[in-house]
Structure formats: structure tokens, C-alpha cells
Amino acid sequence: MQIEWLDGLESRVHDAVERLGELREENRTLRDTIEDLETRLAAVATPAAGPAPWEEREGGEEIDALQARLRELERQLAAAETERAEAAAAARAWEIEREEVRRRVEGLTAGLAGLAGS
């Protein structure tokens, strides 16, 4: 017996799990990029290192650009983490719903088997 809506539910759970994997990879990439930019920014901002060549030419525009990029990456990371959390919550809800359906179908099946055996 095929229950179409249960197939749809399982498909949604599968899609959510797949999306979670994608978001984890995206988060990892964004974190690596942020770490790289923070390292570069720290190296540029360290007075002992002396001014970087572009600072002399561009008056610190590179630092401003790096800081703006860092803020944008942090915003993207926060958005991705929010999306990941929402997808995880949806996947948990779908799992709970799926388990409830399974339990109820098993109960109905057992009841029908009892009636057929009588």
C-alpha cells in the first residue's frame, strides 16, 4: 500500500538533511574565509610590522575593504546558521511526524490483522 503524503514527507526530510549538509559545508567555508581575513587584517593592523605597501598608496583603503568584507561574511554566516537551525528544526519536526504516522499505521495494521484472524 502506497501512502503518497508519507512519500512526500520522507522526500521533504531527505531534502532537509541534504540542505543541512550543504549549509554545514558553506559554514565551514565562510568560517575559513573569515579566519583568513582576520589573520590578514591583524597582520596589516599590527604597528610593529610597519605600514603595508598599499596603506602608503591607498591610505588604508585595503583595511576598510577587508573590514567590510569581514562584516559581510559574518552576516552571511549568521544567515546560513539561522537557515541551518531552521532546517534542522523542520527535519526534527518531520521525523516526529513520520514516527507518529508509523506508530499509528502499525496500530491500524495490528487491529486489522486481529480482525482478519477472528
Is residue 86's pLDDT more than 80? yes
pTM for the model: 0.46
**What Cα–Cα distance (Å) separates residue 88 from each residue in 8, 17, 84, 93?**
18, 8, 6, 9
6-56 pLDDT, tens per residue? 677 777 777 777 877 788 888 888 888 888 888 887 777 666 555 555 445
- Coil, helix or strand at residue 37: helix
DSSP 59: T
Q: Evaluate the CA torsion angle 38, 44, 45, 47 in order and state its sign.
A: positive
